[in-house]
A and B are shown apart, each in its own frame.
Chain A
C-alpha cells in the first residue's frame, strides 16, 4: 500500500515557465514532508521541507505548498531552468519515533530550453 504517491511519472515544461510537481499521501499522522532532487546515478539531494503546522514554505525559486485537508503537497519551481531537469521525490514522516521517511515513486521533470 503506497502511503506517498506521485501520480505523474513525468512532466515537461518550457524554460522560464512554472513547474508544478504533485504528491498525495494517505496517512494523516504524517507531520513532516521533504522534497529531494535526484540526477541519474547520484544520490538524492535535499531541496525543501515543510512541517504540518505550515501551509507554505519558500526557498528561492522553490515553494512547497501543503493542503492537510486534501492530504496533498506540491512543489512549485519558478522560473524553471534546464538544470532543474531531474527526478523529484517527495517524502513524508510520522512522529512514531523511528525517524523514517516514506518516499513517493518520483516524477521526472524535463525542462526544455
Chain B
C-alpha cells in the first residue's frame, strides 16, 4: 500500500536540544511539505521541496531545517533556535500536476519539556 509515514507519533524534547522528525513516502510524489498546526491557527507551511536536493522556505521557516537527499524522504529538524516548538507537525506529499491535492501523514506531536 502506498502512503506517507511520519515517525515518531509522539516526541519529547528538552529545551536547547535539536530533534529530527522523519517523513517517508512511497507514492513516487515529487513534492513534499512540512506544516505545523497550532490551535486556532490552521496549518502553516514550514518548508517544501519539489525536487531532490532542493527545498524552499515556507511562511514560518525560522528555527527549522530540512534536507531532501532522496525523493522518498524529507526529514525536518527542529533546532534549539525555534522559540515555540511544541506543536503538531504534519508532513505531506503531492505530484506536480495542477489540481492535485496533498496526501498527509498521520503527524508527530512534539512537546518541549
Which residues in A have some Cβ–Cβ distance to B below 8 Å? 6, 9, 32, 34, 36, 41-46, 49, 51, 89, 91, 95, 98-106
* Number of A-B residue pairs at CB separation under 8 A: 62
- Nearest B residue to A44 via CB reads B104
Interface of A is mostly: loop
Interface of B is mostly: strand
Return the CB mask of B23-41 against A: 1 if under 8 Å, else 0.
Answer: 0000000010101000011
Q: B96 near A99 (CB under 8 angstroms)? A: yes
Return the CB mask of B84-113 against A: 1 if under 8 Å, else 0.
Answer: 000010101010101111111111010000
- How many residues belonging to B are interface residues under a CB distance threshold of 8 Å? 32
Q: A51-B99, A99-B94 are in contact. Are A43 and B42 (CB under 8 A)?
A: no
Q: A9-B40, A99-B94, A105-B40 are in contact. Are A43 and B107 (CB under 8 A)?
A: yes
A-B contact pairs, 25 of them (CB 8 A): A6-B42, A32-B99, A34-B101, A36-B104, A41-B107, A41-B109, A42-B106, A42-B107, A43-B4, A43-B6, A43-B106, A43-B107, A44-B43, A44-B90, A46-B103, A49-B99, A51-B99, A89-B42, A91-B101, A95-B98, A98-B56, A99-B100, A102-B45, A103-B43, A106-B42
Other-chain residue from A6, A9, A43, A51 in contact with B90 (beta carbon distance below 8 A): A43
Whether B48 sits at the interface, judged by CB under 8 Å, is yes
Whether B79 sits at the interface, judged by CB under 8 Å, is no
